[in-house]
Amino acid sequence: MLELLSYSFMRHALLAAALASLACGVIGSFVVSRRLVFITGGIAHTAYAGVGLGYFFGFNPFVGAVLVSLLAGVGLGTLSDRLKQAPDTLIGIIWAVGMALGMVLVALTPGYAPDLLSYLFGSIMFVSLQDLWLMATLNASVLLVVWHQYKAFLAVSFDEEYSAVAGLPVRFLQVLMYALISLSVVLLIKVVGIILVIALLTIPAALAKMFVPSLKRMMVQASLWALVFTYGGMFLAYAVSSIYQVQVPAGAMMILLAGAVYGVALVGRKRILSKS
């Protein structure tokens, strides 16, 4: 299996997995701590509209996904209060509208969209050097903002009302967090696709939350879990594909591995607590 490392596509895939794992650990910890899983799903599915825009107007669909995801994230953060609508209502609407718009635009685009499924289910084995640079830029932006605003994010995560009384710009921080979630979602689209991105953002962080008390340690451990799942999923997909002589999607194997580990950890933790 080590001979795979001699191929550039495999090295690109490993680098992409490492970049995605950092975003999973850092932003996923906020998503799990603040219970923003549904919001993450809405932003992820809205990104499909950006993919459709890219195909329709002839530019990189990945860039389209970045722009639409950011628009959706910032829009959710700023409009949910002003429009007096429950956040879950707006999320459900943009979730459906984003997917529908993407489907219509792809259907209206002349010719055949050859890598359309890669945006839905991931294509980590086909990450290009250009994709890697874009992922690295997005990752650096996310980590830099979190590092600069960590104490403020931490305060808002634990007590939003007290943070507002203390003078923190809670509304701005919420919009900023949604924007960071949007960028992280786009990072993960290349790895597991729009459909499975929620799982990879939440399972590593949920696992880490079982074992560590602090948010900072949770981020580190969640990043390591994400790295295990992405690397493990790739090599499991290769092994299963070799045995059965069929192409098994690496993104799906990552999520199956993550789900299995989470299930074992959940059952094991419950038994340990019941005995103590």
| Residue 41's CATH number | 1.10.3470.10
Average pLDDT over residues 155-165: 80
In this predicted structure, the answer to whether residue 105 has a pLDDT above a threshold of 60 is yes
Answer whether residue 256 is part of any domain: yes
Count of the separate structural domains present in the chain? 1
pLDDT digits (tens, 9 = 90+) for 224-246: 999 999 999 998 998 898 888 88
Q: Render pLDDT for 133-156 as a digit per residue (tens, 0 to 9).
A: 888 888 899 899 999 999 988 888
Contact 234, 254 (CB under 8 A): yes
How would DSSP label each residue in 110-150?
A: SS--TTHHHHHH--GGG--HHHHHHHHHHHHHHHHHHHHHH
Domain assignment present for residue 28? The answer is: yes
Q: Is residue 273 part of a domain?
A: no
Pairwise CA distance, residues 22 & 227, whole Å: 8
Mean pLDDT computed over 1-18: 79
168 backbone dihedrals φ, ψ, rounded to 5°: -75, 145
Domain range enclosing 160: 2-266
In a domain, 272, yes or no: no
- The DSSP-derived string for 218-241 is HHHHHHHHHHHHHHHHHHHHHHHH
Average pLDDT over residues 238-260: 89
Tell me: pLDDT of 204 over 80: yes
The structure's pTM equals: 0.88
What is the pLDDT averaged over residues 43-52?
89
The answer as to whether 32 is a domain residue is: yes
Q: Mean pLDDT lowest for which of 38-42, 83-87, 88-92, 233-237?
A: 83-87
The answer as to whether 104 is a domain residue is yes
Instruction: For residue 274, tell me if it sits in a domain.
Output: no
Residue 74: per-residue pLDDT = 86
